[in-house]
Amino acid sequence: MNKEAHMKTTFYFLSWLFIIISYSFAQQWSWQNPLPQGNILNAVKMVTQSVGYAAGDAGTVLKTTDSGASWTILKSGTTEQLMSISFCDVNAGYAAGSSGVIIKTTDGGTNWTLLSSGSYNLLYSVFCVDVNNCYVVGDGGIVLKTVNGGVNWTNKTTAAYYALTAVCFVSSNIGYMVDVSGSIL
């Protein structure tokens, strides 16, 4: 190898070595703007005047304790898109979204448990009647119900062909759902 080729090889080797060493000592990147994160948010639920939660893409769950002036990122335990979030009180809540994901917290969002919904449908809306009774609706007219805090989900799918996009209950037995065709059930 001639001297010029040897110098080029040495230069490239030292350049790569410098890059590798730089990466190994580099600081971690952190999100700066918008704070506290930049994922799309799909739902928000205020539980009290000051305590509220938001949910969105990539399993994002946020919490505010100062009426929305600041938000804290919570670890949801999923990377699925969350479309809806519902809380029974300041501690107990559920969130639902893509691939049939349903998560639950009983400690104000500090810890989340992934529940087995038995579905892979996109779930658009979740509504808690109380900590044990909850409804979830989604694609293909799917309606899921739990009466034991999410341990088991019963499929109450309607004859609706369209996606059910929202659910709300006014009592443990009276509820309403809407679909993308404009129907109210």
pLDDT digits (tens, 9 = 90+) for 69-78: 999 999 999 9
Find the helix or strand (DSSP H, E) in which 61 lies.
strand 61-64
Find the helix or strand (DSSP H, E) in which 177 lies.
strand 175-179
Interval 136-151 mean pLDDT: 93
Find the helix or strand (DSSP H, E) in which 146 lies.
strand 143-146
Largest CA distance in the chain: 87
Spatial CA neighbour of 160 closest among 176, 144, 146, 142? 142
Cβ within 8 Å of residue 71, ≥6 positions away: 36, 54, 62, 63, 64
Mean pLDDT of the chain: 87
Residue 19: band (very low, low, confident or very high) from pLDDT cuts 50, 70, 90: low
Domains in the chain: boundaries: 41-179
Residue with more model confidence, 28 or 137: 137
Residue 6: band (very low, low, confident or very high) from pLDDT cuts 50, 70, 90: low
Domain 41-179 superfamily per CATH: YVTN repeat-like/Quinoprotein amine dehydrogenase (2.130.10.10)
pLDDT recorded at residue 37 = 82
pLDDT recorded at residue 162 = 84
Residue 36: band (very low, low, confident or very high) from pLDDT cuts 50, 70, 90: confident
For 5, 16, 94, the CA distances from 134, given in Å and listed in that order, are 71, 56, 8
Residue 115 has pLDDT above 70, yes or no: yes
